[in-house]
Every structure is written in structure tokens, then in C-alpha cells.
Amino acid sequence: MTYQEVLDDVDIKLAQIKDLYTLYIVADLYLLRQYTQQLLKPGQYRLGRIDASLLVASSNHRFNDGKILARRIRGLFNYYRQWHGILLEARGSKRDGISYLDNENIFLACRTWLINQELGTILPNDFLNAVNQEILPRLLSIIERPIARSTAYLWLPRLGFYRHETKKGLYVDGYERSDVIQYRQEVFLPLINELLSYTVQYEEDKAGIWHTIQPSLPIGVQVYVMYFYDKSCFYGFDYKKSLWLADSQQKMPGKSKGRLIHDSEFIGPEGHIRVPNNKGIFIPDDPDLDARQIIYPGSNGDPWWDTKQLLVQVARTLDIFEQKYPNYIAVLIFDQSSVYASHGEGILNAFGINKIPGGIEKGNIKPYRRDTYFPPEYTIPGLQGTIQVLWQLNPNREREPKGVEQILIERGYNIPGLRFKYPKGTKYTIPLEYPPAIEQTYCLARILSNYKDFFEEKSQIEELITERGHKAVFLPKFHCEINPIEMYWGYSKTRFRQVKKVSFLDAKVKVVEALEACSIETIRRFCNRTFRWMDVYRKGLSIKQAAWCVKKQKRHRTISKKVIDEWDNMQKEGKEGS
């Protein structure tokens, strides 16, 4: 084997099948890789065999020059070149011994015990006790000796159980709820797939060159430009979690991370929504030129972020967008936060109406809702679609809003004794939907919410965006992985935590620098990763399969059949995706 063939072969083993080797063999493979890399360096940086082995050995030896290890490295390299592999480790292999797991009944009993444990609760000590106190006494008449704790650790991989780190990424709680899946598969994915066909898209090749893919537009359809929205907070004195310290040093974190810096903005494949000034220069955070909104909330700072401020930002964003892309349509994508779904004054919202007529709000008579219509499910024939007035005159001849109970009675729905609302925080097991799958009998407000006119009422944000001729789209609940701005926040906060902040004024500047450090190429990679997630959901892959395929298929917007087949083949061979 040539030097390059040795290096390539070792890289493949470390990348794909490292888990099949013992720790001793893995350590030898790392030494071989370092040694071969030194031998392959060009020109004046290239070292001879002996010098290269001494350099690798000294860098891996803590207390001496590592000459003995250097000789061993050269021997490993010569063996690998001749036999195309590494000398297998003989220690601990029990060459002449047998294991309890060689007994098929014991193997199946151990695996059954592990499978029956609650997910994520397996501990090696519990498994050790189960084997020594339950499984072996039940299946063997004579037990020569119980297994040791180290043996329990070795048995777990043989039985198909491996140690994993839990990582942030997917919300599992509610992620596979039936109503969430239905909205994702039947509403969101078909809609976003149609909208993407009207947008300019970007794809990166292996050389790092970006290619523009123009949409093929039907007659009369305008170009769409997609942006994702979210908000996030930076702490003025936030710090990074990993530190380099001497053995005698200890860094005590402060009690406070400082004041908040709140950022609210849109990003998409085209980058940020901003336009240059009259000199052709982009000025971040200029309210007339940049859609980004940064505030500093707190007791002595700006008011906390609310729906009114968001509506002002969205209106300003659309002004800037129309200046940047005249005759284009903006697709603004939000998650399903209660802030984005809130209704304004006069909007049909059953939970904002009293049970009985009237009511006081902020010292004044509660504002009444705008008139609506009798929905299709109205019980009196001939009145469906006609106007239903939602106000009446009180004894003082003043208009006051009708109550939920009266509105339902006028619609022919009356269940005596049914409560108006459930306590705050109550979780309903049946989602709001139209038409309802079953008759709703939770409470009066929820029943009214399921009528067509109330159910289809748009939020303030959606109303504002659609009135301007643009589109608002809402992500499925619990799906942060299909919002690229989440990756944008992670990128920016990592940069922000790495720099020193001497004051809050300094932190304000550093936040903008961290946000601007994320280039448009990086944002496009985040967006393409998001589009890959949408593609795997569209193809019906499982969560584990989807996560592996999205990571494997880099640079592209979709997942190819080749990658999916590669996963299937690995599963058939009993290998974990890595």
C-alpha cells in the first residue's frame, strides 16, 4: 500500500466502523493517521520516518520523549502496509474461554430485560444486579461466578445497546401529536412546496460554488421571496461554556449574565430584509433601511416585546421589502406562538367574549365584536350566510357586546349547565378543527370557536400581511428544525459569547457584530438544511432516519434516493447510522 492508500483506509475505518474496534485499536489508528499525515506533507515540511514517528510519539506522550512509542508506531505502519490492516489486540479476548452470552437462552433473557425497561432508564448497575440475581439463577443450575461490573459494560454493546448523548434539536413532547402531524402533512408541506416552486433557490456544489435556480412561473404568477421570522435574547455578559484553565485555576461564573438585548428579525435565502442608503451602503439597524428590530427591555429600559410592537415591525418590514423587491410577493413564515396568533379589537375570538352581555375593560364598556354571519352549521334553514349582529343596546341605549351564551342560543345551540371556560392551563385532548371530528362539549367558548366563522378568523399579523398583498405562513408546532433562524441564533450567540464585553454599551456593539458575522452563504446553508427537513417529512421518513439523512445529504435542498437506500442497507446489516 502507498502512503496515501494507508491514510485513506485509516480515515474510512475511523469515520465508519470505529465502534466495532476496541479502544486500544482505535488509539493505534489515530497514531497511524497522524504518522502518515506527517509523511505526506509536501516540500520542506515533510519529515523522514524516524523524525515523523518521534514527533507523533512526543505529542502523545506526557512524561518522556516517547522513543519506545515511536518504534511501535513505525512497526504498526509497516504491518499495515504489508497486511492491509492493523494487528488485532489480544488482551481481554478470552481466547480459550466462553461467555454466558454464548448461551442463547441467557442472551435472549438479557435482551428481553433490557427492552422491557422504560426508555432512557437503563443503568449498568441495574443490569448487573438483574443478571446476577434474576437471569442466571433462573436459567442455570450451577453458577461458577457472577459477572463483574466491567462485564456488564461489555455485554451491553453485544446486546445492541450503546451509550448516547441527548442533544437539543427536536421537541419530542407533542412532536408526533395527531393534530400536529395532520397540519404538517396536509396543510403546511403542500403549501410550502407550492410556494417554493415560485421562489429563486440556491444550491452549493462540492467546490463551494453557489448556483442560482430560477423558478418556472405560470402565466400571471409573480416571484415569491421567502423569509423566516423569530426573536431571541442575548445577555449582556453571556459567556462561553468551555474554558481552558490550569489545574489550579477555577472560573466562578457571575450571578447575573447582564441586561437583555432583544433581537427580532427575518432571514431567508436572500439574506436579510434591508436596502442600501442613497450612497449604496447597507447600515444595520437603520429603521428605514433594515427590518431588524433590537430593543433593550427591563425595569429601566424599553417596554417588553408585545404584539403591537411586532405589528409595527411587520408593517415596516413590508415597506422595506416592497422597496427592495417591487412587484414581488413576500412569504413571511412564523412559528405558532400565541403572540403571532393573537387577535385585535373587534376580531372574532370566542375566548375574548364574556359569558353574559356587556362587561368592562380598562374602565370602559368592553368593545363589541364586528358583525359576522350565520355559519353553514346553523340549524334554521335559509338563514345560513345572513348577518348575525354581535351587539345589542343596554338600558342606557348604548351598544354592548353580546355574550357567548346568547350567541350560541341564536345559533340554535343550547346545553344548560355547561361551563363558560375551563381554568387557565387546562389541556384539551381534542384539537380545534373545522368541521369538528366529534361534538365538542368542553365549554361554551370552545364550542363557539369551532364554528366556521370563528375558526377561520385570521390573526392580526396574517390580516396585516394579506391586506398588503403578501402571504403569511405558520410552521407546525414543535418543529424548530424547519426554521433556519434557529441556526442563525446559535451561530450568532456562539460568536457573541467568545468575545469579551467590558460594559453594556460594548455588549450592544458586539451583538450587532455577531449578527453581521453570519454571511449570506451561511444563511443559505441553514435554509437548505431546513428544506431538507421538509423533504424528509414529505417522504414520510421516521425521525431517526430523517435526522441521519439530513446530516448525510449536505449542500442540497432535497434528500436523494441514494442516501435513503444507504440508510436502509445499514439497517439490514445491523449497523447504526453515523
Whether the predicted pLDDT of 430 surpasses 60: no
Cis upstream peptide for 357 (omega within 30°): no
Length of the chain: 578
Is the model more confident about 231 or about 42? 231
Given a cut of 70, whether residue 331 has pLDDT beyond it is yes
Q: Is residue 578 part of a domain?
A: no
C-alpha cell at 181: 402531524
Query: Looking at residue 29, what is its pLDDT?
Result: 87
d(CA 330, CA 226): 6
Of the candidates 27, 28, 37, the residue with the CA atom closest to the CA atom of residue 6 = 37
Query: In this structure, is residue 49 part of a structural domain?
Result: yes
Where residue 325 falls (left for φ over 0; alpha for ψ -120 to 50; beta otherwise) is: beta
**Domain match, 353 and 435 both:** yes
Bridge-based pairing of strands 360-361 and 329-334 is unpaired
Is residue 166 a part of any domain in this protein?
A: no
Q: Quote the pLDDT of residue 127.
A: 92
Residue 358 identity (one-letter amino acid):
G
- Sign of the dihedral through C-alpha 406, 407, 411, 413: negative
Least confident of 128-137, 237-246, 522-531: 237-246
**Are 267 and 317 contained in the same domain?**
yes
Give bridge partners of residue 234 from the DSSP assignment: 261
Asked if the model's pLDDT at residue 54 lies above 70, the reply is yes
What per-residue confidence (pLDDT) applies to 567?
A: 86
User: 401 and 347, same structural domain?
Assistant: yes
CA distance 68 to 403: 89
3-state SS assignment for residue 332: strand
361 and 430: one domain? Answer: yes
227 and 324 co-located in one domain? yes
Q: How far apart are CA 528 and CA 533, in angstroms?
A: 9
User: Do the domain assignments include residue 334?
Assistant: yes
186 found inside a domain: yes
Q: Give tens-digit pLDDT for 135-187.
A: 999 998 788 888 999 999 889 888 888 876 655 544 455 667 788 888 899 99
Distance CA 510, CA 242 (A): 20
Domain finish residue from 130, 158, 186: 158
* CATH code assigned at 493: 3.30.420.10
Q: What is the mean pLDDT of residues 504-529?
A: 94
Segment 366-383, tens digit of pLDDT = 666 677 878 777 767 777
Percent of the residues in the chain that have a pLDDT greater than 70, as a whole number: 84
Higher pLDDT, 345 or 116: 116
* Of residues 229 and 445, more confidently modeled: 229
Average pLDDT across the chain, whole number: 83
Beta pairing, strands 329-334 & 224-235: parallel
Residue 83 scores a pLDDT above 90: no
- Answer for the pair 225, 321: CB distance below 8 angstroms, yes or no: yes
Same domain, 204 and 311: yes
C-alpha distances in angstroms, 439 versus 71, 321, 442, 444, 564? 80, 44, 9, 12, 42
Query: What is the C-alpha end-to-end distance of the chain, expressed in Å?
Result: 27
The grid coordinates listed for 476 are: 407546525
312 plus 383 within the same structural domain: no
Cα 9 from chain centroid (whole Å): 35
Dihedral, CA atoms, 85, 88, 89, 92, nearest 10 degrees?
150
Please tell me the chain's helix, strand, coil percentages from 3-state DSSP, rounded to the nearest 5. Answer: 40, 10, 45
**Least confidently predicted of 48-62, 114-128, 442-456, 480-494:** 442-456
Does residue 279 lie within any of the structural domains? yes
3 state DSSP class of 77: helix
CA distance 35 to 31: 6
Numbers of helices and strands, H then E, in the chain? 20, 14
Range of lowest pLDDT (369-378, 478-487, 510-519, 558-567): 369-378
Task: With CA atoms as reference, report the closest residue to 524 among 192, 223, 268, 195.
Answer: 268
Residues 336 and 215 in one domain: yes
Cα dihedral 352→358→362→364 (10° resolution): 140
Q: What is the Cα 207 distance to its own chain's centre? A: 28
For the chain, what is the largest distance between any 2 Cα atoms, rounded to a whole number of angstroms?
A: 103
Residue 436 has pLDDT above 60, yes or no: no
DSSP one-letter string for 400-417: EEPPHHHHHHHTT---TT
Q: Give domain status of residue 311, yes or no.
A: yes
In the structure grid, which three cell numbers stand for residue 198, read together? 415560485
Same domain, 385 and 512: no
The range of the structural domain enclosing residue 8 comes to 3-83
Cell of 390: 354581535
Print burial letters for 89-122: b (CB count within 10 Å at least 16), e (below 16): eeeeeeeeeeebbeeeebbebbbebbeeeeeeee
In a domain, 247, yes or no: no
Quick one: CA dihedral 303, 309, 313, 316, positive or negative? negative
Check whether 425 has a pLDDT greater than 90. Answer: no
Entry pTM = 0.64
pLDDT at 542 over 90: no
pLDDT interval class at 426 (50, 70, 90): low
CA distance 128 to 134: 10
- Looking at the structure, do residues 149 and 57 belong to the same domain, yes or no? no
Beta bridge partners of 227: 332
Computed over its alpha carbons, how large is the radius of gyration of the chain? 32
331 near 473, Cβ under 8 Å?
yes
User: Which residue in the block uniquely carries the three cell numbers 405558532?
Assistant: 336
Look at 204 and 63; give whichever has higher pLDDT: 204
In terms of domains, do 75 and 152 share one? no
Single-letter code of the amino acid located at 515: L
Are 190 and 281 members of one domain?
yes
Which of 124, 158, 192 is the last residue before a domain boundary? 158
Write down the residue that cell numbers 435472549 correspond to: 108
> In the predicted model, is pLDDT for residue 484 greater than 90?
yes
More confident residue, 46 or 36: 36
Could you tell me which residue, 91 or 491, shows the higher pLDDT?
491
> How far are the Cα atoms of 112, 161, 332, 567 from residue 575, in angstroms, in the given order?
20, 12, 41, 9
Q: What are phi and psi of 513, to 5 degrees?
A: -65, -40
Q: Measure Cα distances from 241 to 487, 498, 508 in Å.
A: 18, 10, 21
Rounded to whole angstroms, the Cα distance separating 571 from 411 reads 57
Q: CA of 490: how far to CAs of 169, 435, 455, 481, 504, in Å?
A: 12, 40, 36, 12, 21
Question: Which long-range contacts link 164-170 to residues 24+ away (Cβ below 8 Å)?
Answer: 169/480, 169/481, 169/547, 170/478, 170/480, 170/481, 170/543, 170/547
Contact 495/514 with Cβ under 8 angstroms? yes
pLDDT for the residue 478: 85
Domain boundary among 83, 118, 144: 83
Cα 143 to Cα 140, 147, 388: the distances in Å are 6, 10, 83
Q: Is the pLDDT of residue 386 over 60?
A: yes
What average pLDDT does range 114-128 have in this prediction?
A: 85
Closest by Cα among 19, 25, 21 to 162: 19
pLDDT digits (tens, 9 = 90+) for 260-277: 999 999 999 999 999 998
Q: Return all residues near 16 (Cβ < 8 A) that are at least 6 apart.
A: 578
Of 345-349, 385-389, 463-467, the range with the lowest mean pLDDT is 345-349
Strand, helix or coil for residue 234: strand
Count of domains observed in the chain: 4
